[in-house]
Structure 1
């Protein structure tokens, strides 16, 4: 897979605060790349540097294998702040103003309105739009000129469930069309649903980057129970693949094995040792739990 954006040792300091410290990672072409981290981790600063709103103290980045230039930046669509449009003007008229500011052709407006699902409401005043529609209009504005890369800072922040679903579906649609989408978000559920790759930041340092299921590892575990959990706990720790045993609530035990465990095989093994299971269920660590474990270490 080719690389569309590569960051090398990006650092940025605000007075005594080290916002970013030697951050390096690559973003593959045609992916949805999530930048995750707690508040103050450096996500917005990093996006600001990539879009040339901010200057890094040290380090560099390349876009499409070239150093950034005015021409290259025009191939990036950005949404870094809360949508800021004229409330009494229509969606179409607002996009005309944005197109003139960005020096893009107004002929592109019908295309981006269609992509954002706003064609039917293009002549309605912005103030009559729902939160989701306002955010989709902002994404439509970022799409003017048909950029290859779209950078979104918290695109679903502050939206209700309907608005979140609307933005999520638009991001998926854009990804399927071949765009590379880079988004900062603290909504882990949304990241899991739309992102293929991720970078995790904490206090300006990179904890890891790559495919979501590799960076935020979530081990499978099995919940088990029996009439005598004390005997079951003693037995299960003798299993050759045993790794960890934890209480799971409701009188159950949570067991992790070093290899994938077939439930039927485990049930049979326990029975052969004289312990009969009354509860056996495969489970998986939530993305939120895995993320918190990673960022709190």
Structure 2
């Protein structure tokens, strides 16, 4: 199957990044969000990024115009009937994802692949609400999507070889390196990354050191490009908490218990960069 039309469901930071990357690779992209203002904000965000790329000489003005011309906003999920693949990039919530996949299953033509950008939830469970579990797969991009090369490809129990092959080819056309992993909570990336972030939060909670010191130790001592608490703010503390909850409930090991301070910050609305405050304060909110 030759893929030409991609729908991205969810226009947040990840969704807009996926849409930009797909359009940059020559695909025609429809970007949808249940909140129209969020879709507009997502389009504005990716245009800003493309303008920045042109200013820094990474793209020509003609290339930027070409990418933007291949992206359109969808006001309704019914537009998924035109898609060869739908990549879901909504909140990390199983109920919301399964409701969306069930709806898409009824709208999309038989050949359409349904992919989830979930960072931790089981693909097998998502696929079970559809009548095409062989065409449901995980396609976990890294943030920021236009920059990061990795895509974790996660097969559910019923995902076919053909679907996996098509998604790997798509990732490569988008300039990414697909790496296949098994359907376990957190997969590989977040099963390793989030416990490290959670432990850094515990270091703050227990008074071991201040956030700045913890981040400096990890940057200078472990050669990490970004400290774990800065990274947590960048990911979103609500997302970090959701992933830790999935790891804790899915694997049943106390080492995955979310730090109480992480819960407290999320309850306070301190979600990181996108809300203007997390472990650090930011002059501008990301939404």
Which TM-score applies when normalising by structure 1?
0.30
Look at both structures and tell me which one has the larger radius of gyration over its CA atoms: 1
Q: Which has the higher strand share?
A: 1
